[in-house]
Amino acid sequence: MNDELYHLWIGRADAEVSADFADRIMDAVRRAPPPSKGVLVLLLSSPAVRFAACVLACLVCLYRMAAVVAVFVAQ
């Protein structure tokens, strides 16, 4: 194994961190604006829209199954 590269890497990991590092990071996180939700997320959060999408998916699935059966029945 190449232990020399490993020890060089470990040596770089011993960097000094200021005492208020975590506080500055947490302050920056708290100041950041909350992410905005997209239109699709807002639409899919509605139970009625989710129900309609599920019903539509079921109808499409049933249509596809009927189309497969129709191939064999039509002959």
At residue 50, φ and ψ (nearest 5 deg) are -65, -40
pLDDT at 61: 98
- The Cα–Cα gap between 39 and 41 comes to 5
pLDDT at 64: 96
pLDDT at 52: 94
pLDDT at 9: 78
- The Cα–Cα gap between 58 and 61 comes to 5
Global pTM reads 0.47
* pLDDT tens, N- to C-terminus, the chain (75 residues): 678 888 887 777 777 778 888 899 999 999 988 888 888 888 888 899 999 999 999 999 999 999 999 988 876
- Boundaries of every domain in the chain: 3-73
- The residue with tokens 């249509």 is 63
**Residue type, position 13, single letter:** A
